[in-house]
Each structure stands twice: as C-alpha cells, then as structure tokens.
Amino acid sequence: MEKMDIDEGNNNNIDEDLYSRQLYALGHKSMKRIMESDVLIVGLRGLGVEIAKNIVLTGVRSVSLHDDNEVEIRDLGSQFYLSEDNIGQPRAESCIKQIKELNNHVNVKLHTGELTEDYLKEFTVVVVTEELFTEQQRINDICHRNNVSFISGNVEGVFGGLFCDFCDYVTEESNDEPLKTFMIAAITQEEKALVSVTEDQRFSLEDGSTVVLSGMKGMEELQDTPFKVHVTDHTGFKIDVDTREFQPYVKGGHVNEVRQPVKIQFKPLSECLKEQPEVAITDFAKMLTPPQIHLCYLTLDKYVNTHQQKPNSHSEEDEKTFIQLAGTINEELKIVDNIDEKVFKAFANTCRGYLQPIAAFLGGIIAQEAVVACSSKYTPIKQFLYFDCVEVLPENCENFQPQNSRYDDQIVIFGKEFQEQILNLNYFLVGSGAIGCEMLKNWAMMGVAAGDEGQIYVTDMDTIERSNLNRQFLFRPEDIESLKSEAASKSIAKMNPATKIIPYSHRVGKETENIFNDVFYESLHGVCNALDNVEARMYMDTQCITYRLPLLESGTLGTRGNTQVIVPDLTESYASTRDPPEKTIPMCTLHHFPNKIEHTIQWARDHFEGIFKNNCDNANAFITQSSFIKSLKGQSLVTKLEIVRSIHDLLVENKTDTFEACVKWARLQFETLFNHNIKQLLYNFPEDMVTSSGAPFWSAPKTAPKPINFDSSNELHIDFIIAAANLRAFIFGISQCRDSQKIAQITDTIEVPEFVAKKVFIPENDQQANQNNNNDNNNDDSDNDSKNYKKIRKAINKAKPSPEFKLNSVEFEKDDPNNFHIDFITACSNLRASNYTIELADKHKTKGIAGKIIPALVTTTSMVAGCVSIELLKVIQKKPVESYKNLWANLALPFITFTEPSAPEKTKVTDDWSWTLWDRFDINTPMTMNELIDYFEDEYQLELSMMSCGHSLMYACFNPKAEIMDLELSKAFEVVCKKTLSPDVNYIALTVMCASLETNEDVDVPWVRYKIPK
C-alpha cells in the first residue's frame, strides 16, 4: 500500500481561532498529536456518522470512511447526511461530501473493498461500527498485533455497547484536574520531614501523589526533586527524606503537583470474549445488567450466523429461540449466574430497531475514546461499556410493522401510534449553540415536529463566530455573523424537510414575555434548555413551574457533562439544587498581596477595564452630559477625585494626536505599576517588618515583591509597552504601530521621574480596607483632596471639548488576536507575577482565565444531547419517576453514571395536606378581593393575611384598601399597579400569606394563579 495521501494544508500550525474552546480542554500538546493522527471509520449508519462528525470536527489529520452497504429508507431515521435521493447508493459514498464540509483541515477519504492488514496497520485508530463480534475480532486481531488502537460500537434497539483495545497505552495526564499548587508554611528537620501548607489552603492531594518543592529560602536541598507524599491531614504531608542535617527552613516556597506516567495494558477482543468481561458500570441501579447485555451480544452473533438475520420484532418464536441459544452459550462461558429474561426479551424484540439518541450518546463517547487514543491524554474505557434504556419501552406496543418510512427503526420499537405522538410534538428549544445544534439534529432524525400539528420553536440571540464551527456542526464558514437560530433551522431542513421550526432571536426573560406569553407556553408539550448561563436557566425553570411543563436541562464543561429531567409533580426543579457560589479573590490579595497567577490575571483584567474603558466612558459622559459632575454627588470624595483625574488625564494632561506620546504614556504606566507602586508597598511594609505577635509580616501566603527596572531589550517589558501604547492610540484614533524596535528606541529617550515615598494608607486585609472606605465616606472634608478636586474640576471644565469629540472606548474582546487586548493583559499580568515571584502564564492560559472561557468538546456535547433525547421519549409517555435518568459524566476519567431524579420537597400544611413547588391554587372563575378572602376561608380554613403581585402589595389584613375590595381581581391589579394588563396576558400570579383559622398560626401555602376573565 502506498503512503497515505495527506492534505498538505494540514500542518502542525494549530488553528487557534477555530479550535479555541477545544484547546482549553485538551491543550496544545495533545492537539498536535491529534493533528498527526489518521482514523478509519467502518460503518456509516447513525452511530458511524456521529463518530465521523465528532472526530472530523476535533481536527485529526485524516478520516477514512468505509461502508459499501446500500442506503435503505430506514437509514434516514438516524443518518443525518443521507436523503431519499441516496437510497440504493453506497452509504459512505453518499455522505462523504457533507462530512468533508465539517472541517477543511481534515482530509476525509473514501475506502471501498476489503479491509486488509496492509491497509489497517497504517492508521492510528480504527473504529468499527454495526458489525458482529466475528468481524470485530478479525479486524481487532490485525490492529492489536500492529499496535493500532481499536474501538467497536453497536446500537441494537434500546441497547448499545462499545469495546476498546488500545494495546499498551501510556498517558501522562490521566484526568482533567488542573495540577495543584500549595504555599509552604513550614518544613521540619526530622527523619521523615513534615511539610505544612498555609492556613488558608487545604492540602487536597492523595497518598502517593508526586510533588516537587521549589522557591524556598532554607531547605534548598529539597528543591526540584520529585517526592511521593504521605498525607497526614489537610494541613500537610510527610516525605521519605531525613532533613535533620539540612539547613533550616526560613520562608517561602511552593509545593507543586507533578503528573507521573500511567500505563494500561489491553487485551484483544478474542481473549476478552473467552472470559468474564471487564465492564464499566454506568448505573448502580443496574449493576447486574451489563453482563446480561454482553451475553445478548454474544447470542446475537451466533443467532445471525445461524439464521442470517436478527430476531423478528415481537416474534414469540424468535424470542424463545434467542433465549434458548443464550442459555447454551452461558453454560459454556459462565457469563451470568441466571439469565434475566426481561433483558433478553427486550433485546430480541427491539434489536431490529435503531434509536438515534443512543447513536448520539455512544457516538460522543466512542469519538472521545478515539481522541484519547490519538492524544495519549486521559484514561480510556477498559474494556467494555454497555448501555440500555429499557425504561423507554411502551407498556403496550401495537402496529409495530415497518411502514416503508424513514421512521421504521423507531416504529418497530414503539409502534406507529407513538411515532405519531413524536411527529406532532410542540417543543421550545432555548438556545441553538453546541447542545442546541445536536438537539435539533436528534429531533429531526426522530421526527419531532414533522407532523401536521407539530412545531419546534427555537430562540437564540447570538450570531455565529468562527470558533463556533468546531462544535456547532450545523454551521459553515459562510454562516458567520448570521443568527444561530436561523442558520440552524436551514440546516435541519436539509436533514429532514418535514421538520417544522420557527426561529427567534430573542432573549428569554421578563422583557420578552409579550412574545413568549401565556398563549405560547400553553401551546407547548415541553421545554428543552440548551443554555450556557445560570440566569436564563433559572428563568426558564420558573416558567416551566408556572405552566407545569416538563423541562429537559443539560450542560457541559470540557470532558464533563450532565443532564437533568424535570417533570411536573414527580421531580425537583433546576433551582432546587444550586452550585456553591464561585469563590472571589479578596481585594487586598488582588491589589497588594497576590500569590497565584490567577490573582495577577484578574488584576490585569481589572486594570484593562479601568484605563481603557471606564475612564473613556467617564470622559465621554463628561463631554456629552452637562449634569455629569452633579451625578457624582453621592460618591465619596476619594472616588470623585479618581474620576476627575482620569478625565483630566485623557482631555488635558495626556491628550495627544501622536503615537510617540502614547508610548511615553505606556512607559510611565510601566514605571508606576511595576516599580513605584511596589516601592511604595515596601515603604509601608518593609521586608523585615514583624506583626504585633512578633511573626514576620512577609510570611506565607504573603510574598515580599521586588520592583522591576525597565529594560528595553527585555521582550516582556516591550510587549507591555507595545500593547499599552497601541490601545492608548486606539482611544485617540491614532494609527497603530507594531514595530517593536522603533517603540523600544522611543522608550530609551523618555525621562522617568524618580520614586518619592508618600504617606498613604495601604490596608493589610479586606477588613481594614472596608473600614477605610467607610472613613472615606464620612470624611469628605479632607483639605488637600477637596482642593485638588476643585482644581481638577475647573481644569477639565475649561478644556472641555465640543460634544462632537469622542474618545474610542475599548470593549474587551478576547477572540480578536490583533486587537492587543489579550496581549496587554498577558504582559501586564506576567510583569506583576514577576514582581511577586509567581510562575508566568502564556497568552493561551491568560486568555482562558481573563476571558472566562468555558472549555468545550463536541464529543461531550453529542453524548449529553443523546441522553436528553432519550429522556424526551420517556416524558412523552408520562413515565413514572423511577423510569427517568439524570446523567453525570467525566469522559476524562472515564466516569459515566445515571441516577434517578430526586422527588420535590414537600411542605406540610396539615396532617392531610402537603404541597410541593409544582402545586398552586388555580382560580378560574372571576372573583373580587372579598370573594377571594371568603374562598380561602370556606375551602381551606385559611385566613388570607397578605397578598402581592410582583413588587406590588395588593392586600394586607391590617390595612385593606377599601377602594379595591369589591373590584374584580384583574381590575384591582390595574388600580394598585397603575398599569393596564396586555390583552395577551391570561393569568395573574399572586403570592399569598395565610394563617390557619384553627390555630391562628402562619402557614406556608402555594401561589395563586388567577385567570383573567375575557
């Protein structure tokens, strides 16, 4: 065989714009390995095309497709790149054009004919789908002896499985956890040295972890040598080193976690099939099921080889034959103690069918395993993984004969009537980004909203960016800057022309309740979130509770994914459990005592916002708003002085029309930030300063900083000047300059003032800072500050330009590599890190932290969307709560587990009455306030003591508003709130407080939904 034909355009230069979110999950080193990998995919039904889509988007060097089988109409229910025009043509040939369009960096090729050893051994990874064990074994044997990673996968009805053989696999990154660093507080001199970390940290490494100590003063003998840790408690660990003769520990230093290579040996499939399978457990409620499914697949292999076909759906004779054959195989191999006939009946009755959501779920996992094999990053699955969703099967299945329809693979599982329900669903998809694209594709294949009465509504206010193309697979380069919802709808129309979608570009929230109103929500069967922010999720959660609609929720973070199914009356809501709030950096740590690169990056990001945006916004507001100075009246004198000084800097002191002046400004900024401010800090807190208890002030976690002397030949120094000067030039509309040599020469001519120490207050901690801020607010009579404020205010009023003059405020944009934003933050952060002897960060890491970039992988997205679509099939049937499954997964470990949703919490009113978040009082007949009070007393023996609507108090028993008591409630609402209800509002939500007539004690009760009479 000749050397593989590789696209010359695909070299080692990573397209960081395209792969930016993926790089934050995988890293550059792994990405380069991926770009040097060649993958073969055998089988292009639903599972194969999912894998191909995910691997091509990930960016391997080449993907070869092999499937000579002819397209059948039933393939259109899972293979989204086939159409009716392709029926009778080879599968791989029919879809290669669309797969190529996913990523022009990947060489996608077609292979026809035999899969010989000479051909197979050229690949990095071979993926085989929809083949029996017999053919899998043949290909795997070739791959194993040629050290080619092998993955197989199958979907049969409501079952699926995969097998991995990565030969002798080695990884240096077995998980996705960032390496941990701790500040050293003490090191003992003893036979086994005890290393303690600072009190503000918790030592969270496990026994046997490897660390390196660095940067200590004293105990230098321990520096830069790997040690295994023996954890004592959360404060530290011991190492097997006798330090009694070493120099005593003085101060400083870090404990740095280091990764060690992990070796994993795999067996070939031929060996694994002769013994108890090594199976990954994904559902602890079904721990005994995976071996049963393994036996099902062994039985299917033998059944098809004997009968040349799979068992017929719902054939009692075939079902009986299948179970008997399983018993014979199990007698020989002893796979399970007893055959679970429910599992085997479900397998035999559905294996002729094909569920596209399972293909999406397994397609994400298998593609990620291929990425693991290509990159040698993370821990692979060892060696089998089996999945089932038998809970989705209907209780009574009728009319399951194929209809010569694209949905036949579902009809043989669920029946014709259930397929009709799917076709006529009305669903609201909120978001059409990564998860949204996958969800729309799944729904189109399943037939959601492809009937006469069906409709999908999708909303997304975002437009398409180039970085989206790596995982939002419905979009192409020509769609950039188009609305996501509209572009996605057009792509879906090609996959299933019958799917009906109405796209919107509106944010969900109070401001769009005139669009997504009562009539809209009452027309829906349910809602599916595909969002990336908590605020919108919380809002949709509230809407679904209000309208008693099921909600399908999901999210991803790199290799991690989760799903949550929320069903009225049965489960808790999204808001029932919340993640803990994100930790914030103490202000004094940020401004004066940083000890991590995250601290310096946040400081640099804040500084960027202050000097390039906020200051410009204030200056522009001063120019255009005559009352701007008056608007500062409520601020402290210190704050007002800071604002007018920034305006004076831009409009008087340093206003310019030359780039040279911008360089001078940048050079003076450098001196202030990294030299003078540091000297001032050391003037306030000298290096030898001790606290009131006699301990050194500069002890962990504080590190005494060192001023930086500017050097025009230092690349980092000049990087700061270039970025700062160009951003300053942008503000004034001056042409920018990237000539580093020219800029360095200018800096050498600039005179810099000497440092002069000042008597200024610098807080030691946030408590002191807050106390000082309060003093600032209460002491606005400081003579010097007051005089300076008046003087500067007079100067800027005198120099105030005409309203037509405008400074260009800088809006932070992380994804433009040419705008100097990340360049400035990186240089600024690294210079401050140099001040404090903190390890520097490259531009990529800085961008991720400053831009709060969420790592994203198309593989995780595919897996999550598949799970959500499976739960949709259960929601439609109104299954009991034990049928539903929430997913928690981390494909880096790999960890995949399903759990039953939690029931909603109950609030007890009486022994006979309790309620949950799903309950409410429905008032569907017109009532006045007095009638409502009587209603509560008569029906529930409750005294209505208070009632509000939104922020308006409508009734209080201690002070009733006589003028509204006999008004119909919607009229009373309009009087109290002083606004007219829109005609498209059908209900008013009322919050009530009640007391028991029997005990006179306050009781918690649900809210009231009052129907407005029309």
Active site residues: 588
3-state helix, strand, coil in the chain (%, to 5): 40, 20, 40
Give the DSSP H/E element, type plus range, for residue 619.
helix 615-624
CA distance 309 to 318: 11
Alpha helices in 799-901 (DSSP H): 821-835, 843-850, 858-877
Residues 6+ apart with CB under 8 A from 844: 16, 23, 28
Angle at CA 206, nearest 5°, toward 204 and 209? 110
Give the DSSP H/E element, type plus range, for residue 7.
none
Angle at CA 739, nearest 5°, toward 735 and 745? 110
CA distance 428 to 524: 7
The answer to whether residues 267 and 140 touch, using CB atoms and an 8 Å cutoff, is: no
- Closest to 61 in 3D by CA, of 13, 10, 111: 10
Residue 690 half-sphere exposure, CB side, CA atoms within 13 Å? Answer: 4
CA distance 973 to 988: 9
CA distance 150 to 272: 14
Helix/strand/coil for 802: coil
The answer to whether residues 184 and 213 touch, using CB atoms and an 8 Å cutoff, is: yes
The answer to whether residues 665 and 728 touch, using CB atoms and an 8 Å cutoff, is: yes
CA distance 43 to 68: 8
The DSSP code for 205 is P
CA distance 912 to 281: 42
Give the DSSP H/E element, type plus range, for residue 108.
strand 107-110
Rounded (10°) angle between helices 843-850 and 821-835: 100
CB neighbours of residue 680 within 10 Å: 18
The answer to whether residues 503 and 454 touch, using CB atoms and an 8 Å cutoff, is: no
CA distances from 680 to 176, 294, 586, 670, 675 (A): 41, 71, 20, 15, 9
Using only the alpha carbons of the chain, give its radius of gyration: 33
Strand-strand pairing, 194-197 and 181-187: antiparallel
Point out which residues pair with 890 in neighbouring strands.
560, 895
Chain centre distance of CA 689: 45
Angle at CA 377, nearest 5°, toward 265 and 561? 110
Task: At 289, list the tokens.
Answer: 């099921």
Point out which residues pair with 910 in neighbouring strands.
913
Give the DSSP H/E element, type plus range, for residue 732.
helix 715-732
Rounded (10°) angle between helices 740-747 and 715-732: 90
The answer to whether residues 516 and 508 touch, using CB atoms and an 8 Å cutoff, is: yes
Q: Is 577 exposed, middle or buried (0-12, 13-18, 19+ CB in 10 A)?
A: exposed
Helix/strand/coil for 600: helix
CA distance 976 to 423: 46
